[in-house]
A = this chain, B = another copy of it.
Amino acid sequence: MSGRDRETRERLLRAAERLFAERGFRRVTVRDICRRARANVAAVNYHFGSKLGLYREVLQYASDALRATTDEARRAGEGCAADEQLRRFVHVYLRRLLAGGANGWIHRLINQEMADPTPALDTLVEQALRPRIEYLSRVVAALLDCPPEDPRVRRSVASLQAQSVAYLPNPLAARLGMRATTSPAAIDEVARHIAEFSLAGIRAIGALPPRP
């Protein structure tokens, strides 16, 4: 295997990461990727078998990164009380979610896959999403002092997750005149909002009478 082949293979991966993260699997064409990677149209099929093969490889990388994010967030909260664990989880997650740097594409890609799934969703769910949700459920269950299977836990985790992804730049927010959250200071503020908002929410849910 020569050096040149690896090169265009890498170029294809770099181009695919950005494009898939921006527009999702369906709205990116093989020709888009090859144009950006300065490669021939046949290159994708040669190196990855198919467009989906290339996508799977890119998504696998992102899935591993999401797992790493979860693990980092978990470590950041080790030994803390549950409310502090939640704060740090949100903080770590949002910093990675909204970061514009070299790894900024990773969580955008995962969000695209969740919004408009491909056959590759299942492995993503099992490898990265489910562990993440299970950890979050344990933290919330500790706050509510109830088993993780309690419907109030499920709903609170849903509230948490939904709030986080709402801050990804999207056309609707742009149309409503909101500017993207990218600076570290703004990200910290949003993380604080979500954490404190949700902590208070969870406590209120825990104090609620079971059924009015």
Contacts and interface: CB of A to CB of B under 8 A. Distances in A.
A56 interface: no
10 closest pairs, A vs B, by CB?
Answer: A200-B204, A197-B201, A162-B166, A162-B162, A200-B200, A201-B201, A117-B171, A155-B193, A125-B175, A114-B172
A69 interface: no
Contacts of A193: 152, 155-156, 159, 205
Chain A contact surface mostly: helix
Contacts of A167: 158
A162 B163 CA distance: 6
A123 to B, nearest CB: 11
Interface of A: 26-27, 114-117, 121-122, 125, 129-130, 133, 151-152, 154-156, 158-159, 161-163, 165-167, 170-172, 175-176, 178, 189-190, 192-194, 196-205, 208, 212
A197 B190 contact: no
A159 B163 contact: yes
Contacts of A203: 200
B163 A158 contact: yes
Nearest to A198: B201
